[in-house]
Each structure stands twice: as C-alpha cells, then as structure tokens.
Amino acid sequence: MPLKKKKVGSYPNAMIIASLTAALFLIGFCGLMVMQSKKLISIIKQNIEVRVMLDKELDSTQVADVQKKIAVKPFVLNIEGKPQVLFFSKDEAAKEFITDTKEDFTAFLGENPLHDSYRVRLQEDFFEDTKLKLIKTELEKIEGVFEVVYQENLADQINKNLTKIYLILATFAVIMLIIIVLLMNNTIRLALYSQRFLIRSMQLVGATDGFIQKPFLKNGAVQGLISGVIAAGLIVALQQIALRQIEGLHILQEYEKLGFLLLAVIVLGALIGIASTFQALARYLRMALDDLY
C-alpha cells in the first residue's frame, strides 16, 4: 500500500479552529456588550431632564417667550429638528407628586404651591456635573425663570460606573487576547511537530525560509478566517436570540457598528492565525537537527 504523501502546510485544523473560534467569540461578545452598554447609557442620558420652574405671575405670552429662549440654547437636545422642551403645568406636577408619594398635599394646604415648569432634555455631551451647574446658572438668568432643578451628582455617578464597565470589559478582552496568542502558539507548534522533518528536508534542498513559510502562513490565515466567520455567526445568532427573548432590546441595536464589530472579529482571526503560525514556525526553522528527534 503506497504511503500517503504529506502536503506542505497541512496539519489537523479542527482543534485550532475550535480554540480560536471560542476565544474570538468571547472577544466579540465583550465588544457587543460595550457597544450596547454605551447605547443604553446614551439613551439614559438623553432622557434625564432638567426642570425649569417658572415664576407664578407669568401670563401665557411670557411663558411662551421663556420656551423660545430655552429652545435656542446649544445644550438642548433636538430630535428631528424639534427642541426637547416640554411644558408641564403645576396641576400635572401635583398629580405626579400625589401618584408618587400617595399623599394629597392639596387637602391640607388648600392650594397648589407648585410652579409651572419646562422639562428640558439635554445633549449627551453636556451630561457632566460641571456643565450641568453652568447650564443651571445660565437658565436661571432668563427672565421669568424661578429656579432650575436637576439631580445633582447623578451624572458623575453614571459616568464613573460606565468607565468601570468599560475598564472591566477591556481588561477581560486583553486577557483573552493574551490567552489566545499563547494557546494558538502551543497548539500550532504541536500541529507543526508532525512536519518538522519535511521542513528540514526543504531547508536541505535549498528552500528559503519565505518559501517554506508561505503555505503554512496561508493555512494559518484560512484557519483564522474560518474561526472569525464562525465566531461572527455565533455572535449574530446570540443577538437574535436575545432580541426575541428580551423586550425592548431592539432600541440598543446599532447595525452599522455591529457590522464593523463582526468584520473586526474576522480580520482579528486572520491576523492571529498568521502571527501565531509565523512565531511557531520560526522555532522549527531555527532548530538544530539533533533537536528534531
């Protein structure tokens, strides 16, 4: 029975592809979490309101004039060209207060002491405590404004927590990347062990290192691409399952950014495959003949 010839650059792929796919999937999942958490925080920021309390003696014309002055401010959020400045009457404020506290303060006060107000949603870039204080000062200078109220320290708390989330996910992704490189180097090195004599034979007949490396690097790139495509497919599958199971999750989806993330996972897979193969192959190219045994 004739012996099966070994093909240069060919070695068992299944274990390498499985290991790299798992690692790329975890890195891609971290990227997806960062992307969606950033979108969630952006939505939260845009829905936090600054309340502009109005003087009680204002007539309808003066009230409308205050709105116009607020609406042109650069920090006011605009959605489809419409400034997010919503009028909220003192009667509506009283109903909201009673609903939240379950206490009817008008029963023993005999009147409604609350003020008419505007609820102003801000641009995301202004969501910092230092900027909010400047906004408060600027709005209180408008004639007819009694007081400006917002939740102090909330912005800094959200920003600090967001930074912690990014730091944790980034640290995890870097650790996974290091583990991938070490794992791939060892796995590919073991896979190349079966071809160490073929590599030495090619060196003995005068083949250059570049000529020897070419088929191996090509195989490493293919392995990386296959792993990246599988990992990207798993990320998409996980996202679709989550969309069906979690109500309202669709508002966090940014499909253009998701496309870039999936492309990055595939490219990263190819780069890791090439780099790991190159590093593992270099060991056998420099190995002495006695060490091959």
pLDDT tens digits for 120-142?
988 888 888 888 889 998 998 99
Q: How far apart are CA 68 and CA 257, in angstroms?
A: 36
- Say which amino acid occupies 213: Q
Q: For 143-179, b where at least 16 C-beta lie within 10 A, e where not — what string?
A: ebbeebebeeeebeebeeebeeeeeebeeebeebbee
Q: Answer with the residue of higher pLDDT: 179 or 21.
A: 21
Name 88's bridge partners: 117
Helix (H) or strand (E) holding 150: none
Note the Cα 220 to chain centre separation in Å. Answer: 29
Name 210's bridge partners: none
Angstrom CA distances, 216 to 7, 80, 199, 222, 278, stand at 10, 54, 11, 10, 8
pLDDT tens digits for 222-234?
888 999 999 999 9
CATH of domain 49-150: 3.30.70.3040
Name 292's bridge partners: none
Q: Which two tokens stand for residue 291?
A: 């060490």
Neighbour tally for 17: CB within 10 Å: 19
Q: Where are the domains of the chain?
A: 14-42+157-292, 49-150
pLDDT of the residue at 105:
62
pLDDT of the residue at 237:
92
Write the DSSP assignment of 173-208 as a string of letters. HHHHHHHHHHHHHHHHHHHHHTTHHHHHHHHHTT--
Q: Which two tokens stand for residue 33?
A: 């979490």
pLDDT tens digits for 3-35?
444 454 445 567 778 888 888 888 888 888 888
Q: How far apart are CA 248 and CA 162, in angstroms?
A: 21
**Pairing state of beta strands 145-149 and 78-79?**
unpaired
Q: How far apart are CA 114 and CA 93, in angstroms?
A: 7
pLDDT tens digits for 143-156?
989 888 887 777 77
Q: Pick the closest to residue 27 from 276, 271, 262, 185 (CA basis).
A: 262
Task: Write the CB contacts of 40 (distance below 8 Å, at least 6 apart in sequence).
Answer: 252
**In terms of pTM, does the model score above 0.95?**
no
